[in-house]
Structure 1
Amino acid sequence: MLSQGAHLAGAGGCGEDQGKSVSVVLPAGYSSRAATDADVEAIHELVAGTECELHGEAETAADGIKAVLSRPGFDPAVDTVVVHGPTGLAAWAWLNRGKRAQIDVATDQRGLGLGTALLDWAEARAAEVGTDWFGQMVDDKDLAGTELVRARGFEVLAVNWQLQLPMDEEPVVPALPEGITVRPFAPGDAAAAHLLIEDAFDEWQSRRKSYEEWAAMMIDRSSFAPELSPMAFAGAELIGAALCLDLPDSDEGYIEQLAVRADHRGKGLARTLLAVARQAFYRQGKRNLTLWTHSDTGALAMYERLGMTVHRSTTIHRSPTRAH
C-alpha cells in the first residue's frame, strides 16, 4: 500500500492546469474512472482495510476522504482515479495541485501492477499540471510501497510521526500564565484560527492554505469537535489552538492541528493546550491522545518531553516530474 500518512499539510504550488484526463494503463479485467462522492464509503473501506493490515486498526475517517474530494482548487474529474476489478474497488489515487499524491491498493489486489499503474498516472498528471516534482507518502511499514518508489528513483524528502500519549487517569491542567485564558472553539474563532495555524505552519510548509481550503479540511468536517478544541487567548487575541477530531468508532482523542503564536512560545502554552484537550477527551471516555508532527517542524523533541512516544511513521518520497 502507498499511503498518505494521515492528516498532513499539502506541499508546493502548481502551474497552469490543462484540465485533461490522464489515462491509466491497467491489467486486463480492470477499469478506471474519476472518483465521486458516491465512492466515499467504498474508498474509506479500502483505506481502512490497508491500515488494519499494517497497524491492526483503522485511522482514516470517511469524512476525511470526502474533505479531500471537496477541497477548493481540487478537481476530482482529473485529479482522482478509482480502479475497479472483478471483486469491486481495487485501488484509488489522488494528486493535489500536482505535488502531493496518495495511492492505496486493496490488500487482496497487490502484486498485479495496480500501484505501478497509478504511480505512472500521478507522474503524468503532475507533468500535465506543470510541476517540476511530486511527492508520495508511504507508510514506513509498507515495505513493498517503499521498494516501489525507491526503485523509481524517489528520494526521501521528510518524515511524519504519529505520536501517542496514554491517559490512565484524568489529566491535570497546569495553572495558566497571568493574563491568559482558555476556552473551547466557538464559531466566531474560525478566521483567527485559520490565520494562527497558517502563520505557524508557514515556518515549514511551502504553501499557505486559503481559508476555504483550510476550513474544508478542518472545521467543516463532520468529525471536527469544537467543544473538545481548546483555544488560548491573551486578552481578546488568539495566541494558541488545539483543533481536535472526534473520530467515529475510535477510542483515540485526536488533535488535528496544534499551534502557538511565535511571540507566546516558551511559556508552556502547548503543554497547557495538550492537557486541556486530554482532560476533555478523558471525560468522554477516551484513553489515548494522538497527533501527527512533521520533521520540518522540529517539534518531535518537544512532544517527547511532554511524554508522547512515536506510534507509527510515514516517509514523504519526492521525484522530479518527467515529461510524458
Structure 2
Amino acid sequence: MTDLPPPRVPAGYRSRPATPADVPAIHRLVADCERDLLGCVDTDLDTVAADLARPGLQLASDTRLVLDPAGQPVAWAWVDRRSEVDVHPGHRGLGLGASLLDWVEARAQQAGTERLVQTVSDNDLAAVALLRSRGYGAYAIAWLLEIALPAEPVQPELPAGIVIRPFRPGDEHAAHQLTEDAFDEWQQRRKSYEEWALLTVERATFAPAVSSVAFDGDLMVGAALALDVPGTGDGYIERVAVRGDHRNRGIARALLRRTFDGFHQQGRQACTLWTHSGTGALSLYERVGMTVRRSSTVHAKALPAGHRPPGDPA
C-alpha cells in the first residue's frame, strides 16, 4: 500500500500527523471552532485524547494536523470509519475543509472502509453544504437536551425491590457491562473496557458523587454517569442505561432525577445530555421535562467497495 499524498494546503502552511503531545493544542482549536459556532465550548480535553486513542486508529496514517506559517495548528482531521474535520474560524475560506475532506475519503477508501460517517452540528451550515455536495446523506440525528434546575427536583417513587445509590469505586466494570449491553441494540461496535473508561470513569471530569447506579439485589440494573465540566453552569450526563429485562419500570426516570438533584445541590442551573435517534430514548427524556437545546446530524456516505486510490497496488 502506497502512502497517501498529504492534503493540499495554501503556500506557507504545512501538515503532519497528530501526536498525543498535540492534544492541548487540538483542544484549543476545537474550542475556538465551537465558541465561534455555538457561543460555548462543548468538547473537553479528555474527549480529544479519547479520539486519538480510539482502538484501530493509527496516528501516523489516520490523522492530519495543519499548521499555519507561524507553526500554530489551525485545522485537523481524523478518520476511522467515523471522521472529524475542524478548521479554525480565522483560517476558513482557504479550502482547508474541502482538502481535509478529500484526504479523509481517500484514507478511508485506502483502508477498505465501506461507509464513512461524520457528525456535524446543524448550526454549521457551511459544513453541512460541503458534505451534501460530496454525496453525504443524513443517517441519524443527535439532540443535546437540557432541563433547567431552578428548584428542588421531584424525586419519583422507586420501583419495588430497586435501590439507587451514588456510584463508588468498584462499580466500574459492572457499569461498563451494563451500558455496553444496553447500547448493543444500536451502536456499531462494542467498546472494550479500556476505551469505555477513557470516555467515562477515567475522565478528569467524571463526577461519581452525582452519578447514580440502580440495583436489584446484588445485580446492577441501571446507571447514570455524570460529568462535572468546568467553565459551564450545566451538569452533564454522559451515559444512561437500564438492563433490557428491567425497562419500563421507571428506573431510568429515577436515575435521571437523582442526578438532577445532585447537580441542583451543587448549584448548577441546568443539566444536559446528548441522545441519538437510534436509541429511541427521546420520549423518555421529554417525559422528565427535558427539551432540545440544539441538534447535530450524522452524515454518511457509501464508498465504493474495494476501491483504492489510483496507483495503489496493495
TM-score range with shorter-chain normalisation?
Answer: over 0.9
Match of 1:263 among 245, 260, 270: 245
In structure 2, the CA distance between the partners of 1:130 and 1:270, relative to structure 1 (3 Å rule), is same
> What CA RMSD, in Å, does the superposition of the two structures yield over aligned residues?
1.6
Equivalent residues, number = 305
In structure 2, the CA distance between the partners of 1:134 and 1:81, relative to structure 1 (3 Å rule), is same
Say whether the 8 Å CA contact 1:64–1:217 is kept in structure 2: yes
- What is aligned with 1:39? 22
Matches within 5 A, 1:235-274: 235-274=217-256
CA distance in 1: counterparts of 2:208 and 2:65, whole angstroms = 33
Match of 1:72 among 46, 55, 59: 55
User: Are 2:91 and 1:91 equivalent residues in the alignment?
Assistant: no
Which amino acid in 2 is paired with 1:187?
P
Say whether the 8 Å CA contact 1:21–1:77 is kept in structure 2: no
User: Deviation at 1:147?
Assistant: 0.4
Which amino acid in 1 is paired with 2:206?
F
CA distance in 1: counterparts of 2:152 and 2:31, whole angstroms = 30
- What is aligned with 1:142? 124
Larger Rg: 2
In structure 2, the CA distance between the partners of 1:173 and 1:103, relative to structure 1 (3 Å rule), is same
Matches within 5 A, 1:59-208: 59-87=42-70, 88-96=72-80, 99-208=81-190
CA distance in 2: counterparts of 1:68 and 1:237, whole angstroms = 32
User: Deviation at 1:21?
Assistant: 5.9
User: Are 2:20 and 1:29 equivalent residues in the alignment?
Assistant: no
In structure 2, the CA distance between the partners of 1:44 and 1:104, relative to structure 1 (3 Å rule), is same
Which amino acid in 1 is paired with 2:239?
Q
Say whether the 8 Å CA contact 1:30–1:84 is kept in structure 2: yes
Say whether the 8 Å CA contact 1:259–1:270 is kept in structure 2: yes
Say whether the 8 Å CA contact 1:22–1:125 is kept in structure 2: no
Say whether the 8 Å CA contact 2:46–2:199 is kept in structure 1: no
CA distance in 2: counterparts of 1:89 and 1:199, whole angstroms = 39
- What is aligned with 1:9? none
Say whether the 8 Å CA contact 1:170–1:279 is kept in structure 2: yes
Which amino acid in 2 is paired with 1:312?
R
Which amino acid in 2 is paired with 1:256?
E
User: Deviation at 1:83?
Assistant: 0.5
CA distance in 2: counterparts of 1:198 and 1:39, whole angstroms = 30
Q: Secondary structure at the match of 1:149?
A: helix
Match of 2:36 among 28, 43, 53: 53
- What is aligned with 2:208? 226
In structure 1, stretches of 5+ residues that fail to align are 1-17
CA distance in 2: counterparts of 1:19 and 1:141, whole angstroms = 38
Which amino acid in 1 is paired with 2:33?
T
The more displaced of 86-95 and 235-244 is 86-95
CA distance in 2: counterparts of 1:302 and 1:147, whole angstroms = 32
Which amino acid in 2 is paired with 1:65?
V
The more displaced of 264-273 and 62-71 is 62-71
CA distance in 2: counterparts of 1:19 and 1:55, whole angstroms = 40
Say whether the 8 Å CA contact 1:61–1:248 is kept in structure 2: no
Q: Secondary structure at the match of 2:143?
A: strand
TM-score, normalized by length of structure 1? 0.90
In structure 2, the CA distance between the partners of 1:209 and 1:30, relative to structure 1 (3 Å rule), is same
Deviations 1:144-174 (A, max 9, x none): 0000000011111111000000000121322
CA distance in 1: counterparts of 2:89 and 2:163, whole angstroms = 48
- What is aligned with 2:312? none
Which amino acid in 1 is paired with 2:78?
W
Say whether the 8 Å CA contact 1:161–1:311 is kept in structure 2: yes
Which amino acid in 2 is paired with 1:85?
D
CA distance in 2: counterparts of 1:242 and 1:106, whole angstroms = 34
Q: Secondary structure at the match of 1:52?
A: helix
